[in-house]
Amino acid sequence: MATDRPTVPELVQAVREFLETEVQPGLQGSVAFHTRVAVNVLKIVERELADGPALAAEEQARLVALLGHDGDLDTLAHELIEAIRAGRMDVATPGLKEHLRSTVMAKLAIDNPRYESYRRALHDSDA
């Protein structure tokens, strides 16, 4: 429901902040490690909730332009995979390299925006 409070992103953030600030500092060993993993998973969920829909819409729009017809994201992505496997598309296909690069960058923005290659690529694209 649009008017329900707290929202899903607020709930995820609250749990992540609790684990990060209240629980994690007092832990050691494997429990501390697994708590860090849980905190990182919740950060991914937060980014997915915040940015995922827009990034998916951008990917779908690129696929529509690349493949020349409309469709849902999963169907279009599988069609692209099959076209590459069958040799109907390759790096010489106009727009393919740009699409693949943008898709990977979007996934890194969600999964691990601190990943050095991601940060370097962002810097290079700004230049």
pLDDT for residue 109 is more than 60 = yes
pLDDT for residue 119 is more than 70 = no
pLDDT score at 1: 62
Long-range contacts of 4-12 (CB under 8 A, 24+ apart): 8/49, 9/46, 9/49, 9/50, 12/42, 12/45, 12/46, 12/49
Least confident range of 2-6, 75-79, 101-105, 116-120: 116-120
Q: What is the mean pLDDT of residues 106-117?
A: 85
Q: What is the pLDDT of residues 45-71, one digit of tens each?
A: 999 999 999 999 999 999 999 999 999
Structure tokens belonging to residue 33: 């490690």
pLDDT for residue 127 is more than 60 = no
Q: What is the mean pLDDT of residues 68-92?
A: 98
> Hey, where are the domains in the chain?
8-126
- For the question of whether the overall pTM of this predicted structure is more than 0.85, the answer is no
